[in-house]
Amino acid sequence: MAKIQRGNYAEKTVFVKVGNLSNIQKDGKLSVRIPIIDVQYVFHAYNVKNYGEDQYSWTGKTKNTESYGRLSVHYTEGKIFGDIEIEDTAFRLIDLSEGIGVLVKIKEDGGDKEDAVGCGNARKDIKFKENGSELSLEKNNSVCYVSVLFLYTDAAAQEGPDLSQLAYSAIQDANEALENSAVSSCDLRFKSVGLASIDMEESSFITEDLEIFIMGYSQADNAWLDPNSPFGTTQANTLRDDYGADVVIVFTGGTYDSTDGDPIHGEAGISVSLGGNLIPQAAFGIVSVNSAMNCKRKIFTHEIGHIMGLLHQDRMFYGRGYNFEAGGLFGKKKRRTLMHTLKKKQKRIHHFSNPDVNFEGEPTGTISANVTDGYDSVERLEQTGCIVADFREDLAPTLSVGITFSPCCSFFVNPDNTRIYTANIDNNTGQSPYQYEWRTSSDGFNYGLVLSTTNEMTQDYTGFQAGDILYIKVIATSFDGITGENFFFQEVF
Amino acid sequence: MKFQFKIYGCLLVALLFVGWSNAPLLSQELFTVLSESTDSTQ
Ligand SMILES: [Zn+2]
């Protein structure tokens, strides 16, 4: 507690006992009085993963209220932790021991100027190779999990938060962003392959620190964009090999300066260039722990988005962030998707840009006719996911299950539709034949009887109403006894 | 341990006891506040 109070992110703290969410939520609704601000909100489930009695993630958001609110709680290995976002205010819940925790109200940045960017660098000076061949898709995997190794410096550990909880939240948040944005679970999901410390003296310049991991990385001369750049020989690179990590995220503890004095929250290499060159040696990112504690910024998801080949809104490139007017709930407030940079008081929603997915009634992107126009990060992610997932061999393969659906292509379903869901198993994991168990749930927690034992399940949406969510879960078991599972959140419109 | 309990250890134990002894079998609240909120001292 003493340490939490000293952390640069903490403004106010309070001890809380955290209840078992599976008992408290009712029909997908969770009414919560938030300590410190002492206001009651009702959160409506929209992304729930119930892995079993001892592991779940529950995310809900407010509906039809003035304030945008999002609550995301994870329960795993006896610990419950997560984030709450209420309009301009962010909270982080840290588990101290067995359901007793600290709720931290996150401090706003004192030093942000109006033109501060929420990401590391605006990268305006980087030019991509335009002569590279178009990205060719040779999928070696049919269900693509990108393995993430988390590293942390001494300074990061000194900041106080439990970094294993922060890393777990980061992966769940990033996957939730993919799900919100309708990225197919066959094309990309993230998984953690470990958390380890490194010996590293942090500098006050983030690019200088990133150069430790990406050999030859230099923002000034773009040397790192050369696909023939050598791999670094640092401890971090060795650990990456040891863990079989496709990408590496380094938690740092200090504050990074920029030329105009604003704090910098993170920076990452881009491992698939605009022209389609693969640069696995650039798949490193730095995320400041103090910034990552503030769920509003979504720094981890933003930086790993860069590693996956996404860019900021100001690049002439479809895989970029999008800035849109959200109507209704937010009046005329502008909202940004995850790859958009932020000025002070601006907010990111938990979506990558995708013209096919709406947020509060407004499209989250525009259609891309060619490589230089439109705003469609999801199209790019679905191209690069399997490529990045193939950077390193999986050392401890689990059964990777992806869910697709037919008929194609709208993500949403109408009440009079029937839809067939298909489980796809990565051809590199487990021995066939596979056994399947499909179940559905209306609240994400309570699943009914097994509805199908083949690789397909048919669901009739007669009687459903617009706004309903059906939670679909499939568990697959291989002939050699390896199990894997995945979820699908079917929104009805 | 990641956290330093030297000062707060005793308080926490006391709060845990209070929290548990008062807790109904099925808690209906996500958060039960165990302490006054504290401003960060920096
Ligand atoms: Zn960025």
Distance from CA of B17 to the nearest CA of A (A): 11
Burial of B10 (0-12, 13-18, 19+ CB in 10 A): exposed
Residues from chain B contacting residue A30 (CB–CB below 8 Å): 30
Residue A314 C-alpha to ligand 1 middle, in angstroms? Answer: 11
Task: With CB atoms and an 8 Å threshold, state whether A6 touches B42.
Answer: yes
Flag the least confident range among A34-38, A60-64, A359-363.
A359-363
Residues from chain B contacting residue A97 (CB–CB below 8 Å): 16
The secondary element (H helix, E strand) that includes residue A57 is strand A55-61
Confidence of residue B16 (pLDDT cuts 50, 70, 90): very low
Confidence of residue A397 (pLDDT cuts 50, 70, 90): confident
Burial of A182 (0-12, 13-18, 19+ CB in 10 A): buried
* Token pair for A313: 């809104």
Average pLDDT over chain B reads 56
Question: Residue A228 pLDDT > 50, yes or no?
Answer: yes
Average pLDDT over chain A reads 84
Flag the least confident range among A106-115, A219-228, A274-283, B22-31.
A106-115
Q: Kindly give, in sequence order, each residue whose CB lies less than 8 Å from that of residue A181, ignoring residues fewer than 6 positions away.
A: A351, A352, A353, A354, A357, A364, A377, A378, A381
A86 and B CB contact within 8 Å: no
Distance from CA of B19 to the nearest CA of A (A): 7
pLDDT at A493: 84
Angle at alpha carbon of residue A162, lines to A161 and A165, rounded to 5° = 120
Question: Residue B3 pLDDT > 50, yes or no?
Answer: no
The interface predicted TM-score (ipTM) is 0.80
Give A131 or A356, the one with higher predicted confidence. Answer: A356
**Alpha-carbon gap, residue A327 to A361, rounded angstroms:** 7
pLDDT at A446: 93
- The DSSP secondary structure of A257-315, one letter per residue, reads --TTS--B-EEE--SB-TT--B-GGG-EEEEEHHHHT-TTT-HHHHHHHHHTT-B-TTS
Give A487 or A291, the one with higher predicted confidence. Answer: A487
pLDDT at B1: 42
The secondary element (H helix, E strand) that includes residue A359 is strand A358-359
Task: With CB atoms and an 8 Å threshold, state whether B31 touches A18.
Answer: yes
Q: Please state, in angstroms and as integers, the Cα–Cα distance from residue A12 to each residue in A108, A237, B37, following that order.
A: 11, 38, 6
Q: Kindly give, in sequence order, each residue whose CB lies less than 8 Å from that of residue A89, ignoring residues fewer than 6 positions away.
A: A37, A105, A106
Query: pLDDT tens digits for A20-32?
Result: 888 899 999 999 9
Q: What is the 3-state secondary structure (H, E, C) of A418-459?
A: EEEEEEEECCCCCCCCCEEEEEEECCCCCCCCCCECCCEEEE
**Alpha-carbon gap, residue A411 to A405, rounded angstroms:** 9
Question: Residue A110 pLDDT > 70, yes or no?
Answer: no
Task: With CB atoms and an 8 Å threshold, state whether B31 touches A34.
Answer: yes
The secondary element (H helix, E strand) that includes residue A238 is helix A235-243
Q: What is the mean pLDDT of residues A353-376?
A: 87
Query: pLDDT tens digits for A305-328?
Result: 999 999 888 877 888 888 776 544
Residue A441 C-alpha to ligand 1 middle, in angstroms? Answer: 37
What is the pairing mode between strands A247-252 and A284-288?
A: parallel
> How much of chain A, in percent, has pLDDT values that exceed 70?
85
Query: pLDDT tens digits for A452-475?
Result: 999 999 999 999 998 899 999 999
Question: Residue A396 pLDDT > 70, yes or no?
Answer: yes
Burial of A438 (0-12, 13-18, 19+ CB in 10 A): buried
The whole-model pTM stands at 0.87
**Alpha-carbon gap, residue A347 to A369, rounded angstroms:** 28
Give B7 or A216, the one with higher predicted confidence. Answer: A216
A42 and B CB contact within 8 Å: no
Strand, coil or helix: A163? helix
Confidence of residue A231 (pLDDT cuts 50, 70, 90): confident
Residue A123 C-alpha to ligand 1 middle, in angstroms? Answer: 8
Confidence of residue B40 (pLDDT cuts 50, 70, 90): low
Confidence of residue A139 (pLDDT cuts 50, 70, 90): low
Flag the least confident range among A57-61, A168-172, A294-298.
A294-298
Confidence of residue A114 (pLDDT cuts 50, 70, 90): very low
Query: Measured between alpha carbons, how far apart are the two ends of chain A, in Å?
Result: 46
**Alpha-carbon gap, residue A292 to A311, rounded angstroms:** 20
Question: Residue A219 pLDDT > 90, yes or no?
Answer: no
Question: Residue A164 pLDDT > 90, yes or no?
Answer: yes
B4 and A CB contact within 8 Å: yes
Residue B28 C-alpha to ligand 1 middle, in angstroms? Answer: 41
Question: Residue A297 pLDDT > 70, yes or no?
Answer: yes
Q: What is the mean pLDDT of residues A174-193?
A: 94
E-strand stretches of chain B: 31-33, 38-39
pLDDT at A229: 72
* Token pair for A258: 């920029």
Secondary structure letter of residue A256 according to DSSP = B
Looking at chain A, the number of H-run helices and the number of E-run strands are 9, 23
Flag the least confident range among A28-32, A215-219, A256-260, A442-446.
A215-219
Residue with tokens 């299950």: A401
**Alpha-carbon gap, residue A70 to A296, rounded angstroms:** 10
